[in-house]
Structure 1
Amino acid sequence: MKNGLKTLEQTVATARDWLLIKAALGGDSKSFSILVSFHKKRVQAIGFSFFKNDADVEDFVQEVLLKAFNKLGTFKGGSLFSTWLTRIALNTAINAKNRRQEYKPLADEDRIAAPTKSPEETEIRKATAAAIREAVRELPEKYAVCIELYFFYDNSYEEIAEITSLNLNTVKSNIFRAKKILKEKLRQFYEK
């Protein structure tokens, strides 16, 4: 039933997005603002995975949303709007990274660690998040991008293939290899 519910939610979200896109293309700027409100957190999450400070993330988000607004007429619906927007965000982040040579693959521990019941659990989660962040940072970029999109942004293999312009088997291979490397790196962390 869970898969059926997810499919229904995706169908409703897709229909909602299409209505808002049509209205925005018709000149209704409020519709674009509403559309963005449903997807802004995903763009921010990508920003936090690439940039070190909040000001850079906010600049990144604004740049992505401006690009999306300017290119909205090119969205043909061959994918979900969220996938299209994620691709713009990822391209923008990678281009910025190449310009600045500044990359931080995961967000702060506080953004990763879920609320817990005790300070000890919080510290364990923070240490685990730091170890994961460090392990992902050490991955080759082609693996890091795929594994982040898979685990941290909950994209399917097919969505990752579309976002990264890689073929499906390459995405599966990159994720498999990234998991294998991470497993070994994290095993070393827990053996310390």
Structure 2
Amino acid sequence: MTTQTSTATAKRPTAQIYFPASVKNAGGNARPQSTSQTGSKALEPFEATILEHQALKERDDFELIDLTLAGEKAAFEILVKRYSGSMYALAYRMLHDPDDAADICQDVFLKAYEALESFRKKSSFYTWLYRIGTNSCINHIRKNQAQHHIEFASYHAFKEADTLETLYKTELQEVVNDAIERLPEKQKATVMLRVCEGMSHREVSHILKCSVGTAKANYFHAIRNLRRFMKNYIAANEDDADVIPSSLLRIGNVAPPSMSLGMF
């Protein structure tokens, strides 16, 4: 059955983010409906006028969430536009595939929309969204572990002191790539969030749903494992020995390719 809207539904464009059609409840307010109830045929793009966007842009996240739950579809469009770039960048850095990153980005916002009523505002929407995104990437990696390979185009080395040194050696880069690829999913995610996103241990703990102590432990073990995985290279290249053992390699420094969102 085709859902009726006030405007004609256009053919789905490439990289369009789609969400479930709003369903009127008994009180007349629109509510997000899960795909298990609507099915894929009920998915339709959000449509918002320029005036609606301009009026909503100044709202904070919590206000936009309340408006979405009250049936204001344009409010969630603002949240998508506000965080789609960050979500796509996170997915690209973890998967290093633009198509997979775009798929994950769509999936993250769809999951967030469907679960919006369960968001209790105990953390920021940003943190809640990053949790969904990180878990989606981890699950994707697990499903594709045999074929998955991350290539990191460039990186920076952070010494434990205040000195920032940049490494551009192709051979070393390959060693680093292989070492990071061997990290367990949670350690890899922790390094991504700490180094690429600049998050604190507390923020990482919220996203990965673990204690601050566990987040710190994951980070510690990740760095220790990276040093262990690279010890043979370090032993064979004494010139780099003073840099690598005390360094945390910055992952995915190059900006991901842009993703076009058809609704904006």
- The residue number in structure 1 matching 2:98 is 54
Give the root-mean-square deviation of aligned CA atoms.
3.0
- The residue number in structure 2 matching 1:25 is 69
How far residue 143 of structure 1 moved from its aligned partner, in angstroms, is 1.8
Q: Deviations over 1:147-172 (max 9, x none)?
A: 11111122211121121122221211
Distance 1:93 1:141, change over 3 A: closer
Aligned-partner Cα distance in 2 for 1:39–1:183:
34
Distance 1:59 1:124, change over 3 A: same
Distance 1:53 1:38, change over 3 A: same
Q: Deviations over 1:61-114 (max 9, x none)?
A: 111111111111111111111110011112222222233325455x7426x68x
Distance 1:159 1:183, change over 3 A: same
Higher relative contact order (CA 8 A, sep 6+): 2
Q: Secondary structure at the match of 1:124?
A: coil
- The residue number in structure 2 matching 1:191 is 240
Alignment of 1:155-166 (within 5 A): 155-166=199-210
- The residue number in structure 1 matching 2:137 is 93
- The residue number in structure 2 matching 1:143 is 187
Contact 2:61-2:79 within 8 A present in 1 as well: yes
Contact 1:49-1:104 within 8 A present in 2 as well: no
Rg larger in structure: 2
TM-score (norm 1): 0.72
Contact 1:42-1:153 within 8 A present in 2 as well: no
Q: Does 1:71 align with 2:115?
A: yes
Unaligned stretches of 5+ residues in structure 1? 1-14, 114-121
Distance 1:127 1:78, change over 3 A: farther
- Of 164, 167, 172, which aligns to 2:216? 172
Unaligned stretches of 5+ residues in structure 2? 1-58, 157-165, 242-264
Contact 2:141-2:148 within 8 A present in 1 as well: yes
Aligned-partner Cα distance in 2 for 1:136–1:33:
35
Higher strand proportion: 2
How far residue 128 of structure 1 moved from its aligned partner, in angstroms, is 6.5
Q: Secondary structure at the match of 1:109?
A: coil
Q: Secondary structure at the match of 1:48?
A: helix
- The residue number in structure 1 matching 2:245 is none
Aligned-partner Cα distance in 2 for 1:53–1:80:
28
Higher helix proportion: 1
- Of 160, 171, 177, which aligns to 1:133? 177
Give the % identical residues.
27
